[in-house]
Amino acid sequence: MGFFAKLKSGLSRTRVNLVGLFSGGVVDEDFFEGLEESLIAADIGYQPTMLILQRLRDAVKLEGLKTPEQVRVALRDEIERMLKPAEKPFSADGHKPFVMMMAGVNGAGKTTTIGKIAKWLAAQNKTVLLAAADTFRAAAREQLAVWGERNRIEVISQSGGDPAAVVFDAVSAGKARGMDVVIADTAGRLPTQTNLMEELARIRRSQAKALAGAPHEVILVVDGTNGQNALAQVRAFDAFAELTGLIVTKLDGTAKGGVLVAITADRKDKPLPIYFVGVGEQIDDLQPFSARAFASALVGLDEDEEKLAARAAREQANKRLADFNLEDAINESA
């Protein structure tokens, strides 16, 4: 299954709701009521839903849209418009080392995503240093080091150490060794665990102590199946760690996806880039975020020709990467 197909099938929960609405009938009050329910159920949130409905009503009047299918296309365009501010290609250029820090709740997909990004960067001939905080199991830490050696990716870790000290060492080492990118993994934590959230702020500051201006990206990894809770995560992690970007994982699962619209609408003045979305556990399953592809998948429309061509080009590029699975690589080297 290709990337778009996985995204589309992952978001099927939302689509199934909408497809009923779009499968015929007329555009009347009942239609709009059904649409409102579906958008709320898709985690788009109350205010963004009201905004979308208002714009669609206007479009029906001004542009003379008559069929539900026409409204579906207008809905896709409206969702795309709302997500557009979050579309920004990720780049690790401009600093050396480029320091990025990953944060998120337990099990969001931080470590898996770091593996995918490290491989993606290595394919661009960038040297990568991973900072593994002390929360790794000792065995995993050692296996990761062996795997890193083979893949020209170094891992800095410390057993039982202070995570702020680990990242300080890693950024210092990255600087001394002329590495291109340093990625700091952090342990999962919940917004309600104030001491751990404060620790995150400390981990962030310790990177600046090792290199002025670091970290250059602070990325929140969000599990797409967390629904509206993701919005609360963005607010809480931003308060402690000053987020610069987002990665949304597990959009292949039971995610409803609308929360991306809610998050982007919530941050109108300071949009948070969604750098990548994850639709599975393989290397190909991490892709740059496209507002149009996402909006199309959400309402169940196919990608247009242009997007299909772009995807083919991306898939070709990805072929250069060997089938990569972090767990397998670790097990292999064990």
Ligand X SMILES: Nc1nc2c(ncn2[C@@H]2O[C@H](COP(=O)(O)OP(=O)(O)OP(=O)(O)O)[C@@H](O)[C@H]2O)c(=O)[nH]1
Which residues here bind ligand X, judged by CB under 6 A?
104, 106-112, 187-188, 249-250, 252-253, 278-281, 285
Of 78 and 252, which has the nearer Cβ to ligand X? 252
- Tell me which of ligand X, Mg ion, none is bound by residue 112, counting a contact when its beta carbon lies within the kind-specific cut-off of 5 to 8 angstroms: ligand X
Of 211 and 234, which has the nearer Cβ to ligand X? 234
Of 111 and 207, which has the nearer Cβ to Mg ion? 111
CB of 52 within 8 A of CB of 44?
yes
Residue with tokens 């065995």: 139
Residue with tokens 């600093």: 95
Q: How far is the CB of 25 from ligand X (least distance, A)?
A: 35
- Rounded Cα distance, 144 and 158, in Å: 13
- Rounded Cα distance, 96 and 116, in Å: 21
Of 233 and 264, which has the nearer Cβ to Mg ion? 233
Q: How far is the CB of 134 from ligand X (least distance, A)?
A: 12
Amino acid letter, residue 208: A
Closest by Cα among 122, 324, 99 to 212: 99
Per the omega criterion (within 30 degrees of 0), is the bond before 215 cis?
A: yes
Segment lying near Mg ion (by CB under 5 A), choices 109-117, 255-263, 286-294, 304-312: 109-117
Name which position in 111, 206, 233, 290 contacts Mg ion (CB under 5 A). 111
Binding mask 53-92 for Mg ion (x = CB under 5 A): ----------------------------------------
- CA angle 214/215/219 to nearest 5° reads 170
Where helices occur in 256-304 by DSSP H, the ranges are 259-266, 291-299
Of 108 and 182, which has the nearer Cβ to ligand X? 108
Q: How far is the CB of 123 from ligand X (least distance, A)?
A: 19
- Rounded Cα distance, 299 and 21, in Å: 11
Segment lying near Mg ion (by CB under 5 A), choices 59-67, 76-84, 111-119, 241-249: 111-119
Q: How far is the CB of 54 from ligand X (least distance, A)?
A: 34
Closest by Cα among 256, 104, 141, 127 to 181: 127
Q: How far is the CB of 108 from Mg ion (least distance, A)?
A: 8
C-alpha 103: how far from chain center: 12
The percent helix, strand, coil of the chain (3-state, each to 5) is 55, 10, 30
- Tell me which of ligand X, Mg ion, none is bound by residue 8, counting a contact when its beta carbon lies within the kind-specific cut-off of 5 to 8 angstroms: none
Amino acid letter, residue 153: I
Of 166 and 279, which has the nearer Cβ to ligand X? 279
Q: How far is the CB of 245 from Mg ion (least distance, A)?
A: 18
- Rounded Cα distance, 232 and 229, in Å: 5
Of 45 and 224, which has the nearer Cβ to ligand X? 224
Which residues in this chain contact Mg ion in the complex, by CB under 5 A?
Answer: 110-111
